[in-house]
Amino acid sequence: MRTIGLEDIDDIALGSSLLGSGGGGDPYMGRLEAIAAVKEHGPVTLLDVDEVPDDWTVAPICGVGAPSVSLEKGTNGIEYPKVRAMMERMLDTKLDAFLLSEAGGMNSMVPISAAARAGLPLVNADGMGRAFPGIQQDTFTLNGVSTNPFVIADEKGNCTVLYTIDNDWTERIGREITTASGGQVTTLASPMTGAKMKTSVVKGTVDYAQKLGRIIRTASDAQGEEPEAFFLRESGAMRFFKGKICDVLRETRDGFNFGKVTLEGIGEDKGREAVVEFQNENIYAEVDGEIVATVPDLICLVDSETFVPVTTENLKYGKRVLVVGLPCDPAWRTEGGLELAGPRWFGLDVDYVPIEELAARRTDA
């Protein structure tokens, strides 16, 4: 058990943005809201998974929508008490703690704000170990946890409760509600006992994000080492490419951001070209026509100097970035995990190969 104070928020936001793999929302707005919430209500208690009593009722809280919308349409403050009150009414029991639904810039901050304002603890875990576009693409679904009741609140004051026949239907209906509400909403869903949670989450997400954030923040001041080498060694990230963004195709459609970014190599990658495709999150990366990574592994674009992650809604012509990868949680490499979040779920006509294996093949060649 520890607390999340003002001094922890920046690193958590920064590191979560890396785990967000281009998605999970820009941390800017979420960070401001979390700082305001902790300033007003004090630090948030962070419980490790094993510290949560088995009979507690816990549930993940997050923002859902197109990240590009969240840049302009923030929360109102009424969403958190509204979704919590509705969840407790539907369950006829009090909620004991919040979880993170995913690791992402905005969605690491929403649970901190909600926990601070509600005076509830936060569990050091999430349902993805990264960010994914689909509501049902989480380890809760993988472990048979229903989203019911899926509670949605928008900043206008509308509140919806969904009981669906399966989590795919939650995505279908929930996405339409998100679109009707203006493209960005707050959700609280998938309530579960502490016991069920322990076998259904990716553990230690907040700690891991904070560690990655610290690495990013301190890389530029690394002693006796090139910042890039320090960042890669400390984070364990795999380097794919360094380049300048020369083309961005982007479309906000059906409640998602879809697109593709093309990079021309700089430095040691001069003369080469990379392409990264995304659906909210980066889902595919190739260098000179060769696949270097696909979902569910993490594909991250970071500023080439500061290593600050660049979310897909912030991709801009001329920006210099490093394309790196991190292996996903082992849960995503199982048959069920790949069915729910593998390349074919995203419409990519390729089989999944872990990034370590793809790298080994390149070294062999």
Determine which residue in the list 172, 203, 211, 233 makes contact with a second copy, applying CB under 8 A.
172
**Closer residue to a second copy (CB): 164 or 280:** 164
CB of 178 to a second copy, least distance (A): 9
Q: Is 341 helix (H, G, I), strand (E, B) or coil?
A: helix
Determine the 3-state secondary structure of 55 from DSSP: coil
CA 108 – CA 13 distance, rounded (Å): 6
DSSP reduced 3-state for 101: coil
Judged by CB under 8 A, the chain residues 144 through 163 that form the site for a second copy are 156-163
Selected from 32, 71, 173, 308, the binder of a second copy by CB under 8 A is 173
How far is residue 29 from each of residues 67, 104, 148, measured CA to CA in Å? 11, 13, 28
CB of 172 to a second copy, least distance (A): 5
70 vs 147 by CB, closer to a second copy: 147
Minimal distance, residue 149 CB to a second copy, in Å: 9
Q: Are 245 and 261 in contact (CB under 8 A)?
A: yes
Cα gap 186→81, rounded to integer Å? 11
Radius of gyration from C-alpha coordinates of the chain = 19
Q: Identify which of residues 35 and 152 has a Cβ nearer to a second copy in the complex.
A: 152
d(CA 335, CA 85): 37
Q: Which helix (H) or strand (E) holds 232?
A: helix 227-235
Please, what is the minimum distance in Å from the beta carbon of residue 165 to a second copy?
4
CB of 90 to a second copy, least distance (A): 8
β-pairing, 122-123 with 44-47? parallel
Dihedral angle of Cα 230, 234, 236, 238, to the nearest 10 degrees: -10
Interface with a second copy includes 85 (CB under 8 A)?
no
The count of residues interacting with a second copy (CB under 8 A) is: 20
* Residue that the structure tokens 């897909």 belong to: 312
Question: How many of the other CB atoms lie within 10 Å of CB of 108?
Answer: 35
Task: Give yes or no for residue 177 binding a second copy (CB under 8 A).
Answer: yes
180: contact with a second copy by CB under 8 A: yes
The answer to whether 38 touches 9, Cβ cutoff 8 Å, is yes
92 closest CA partner among 191, 200, 194: 191
Least Cβ distance, residue 191 to a second copy (angstroms): 16
Locate 59 and state its tokens: 């549930």
Tokens found for residue 280: 């909210």
Q: C-beta of 242: minimal distance to a second copy in Å?
A: 42
The residue among 139 and 160 lying less far from a second copy, judged by its C-beta, is 160
Nearer Cβ to a second copy (17/167): 167
Q: What's the min distance (Å) between Cβ of 89 and a second copy?
A: 8
175 contacts a second copy (rule: CB under 8 A): yes
Task: Examine residue 78 and tell whether it contacts a second copy (CB under 8 A).
Answer: no
Of positions 124, 137, 179, 294, contacts a second copy by CB under 8 A: 179
Using the contact rule CB under 8 A, the part of the chain among 171-179, 191-199, 200-208, 357-365 near a second copy is 171-179
Site for a second copy in 270-329 (CB under 8 A): none
Closest to a second copy by CB, 161 or 359: 161
Q: Are 36 and 116 in contact (CB under 8 A)?
A: no
Binding region for a second copy (CB under 8 A) = 86, 156-165, 169, 172-173, 175-177, 179-181
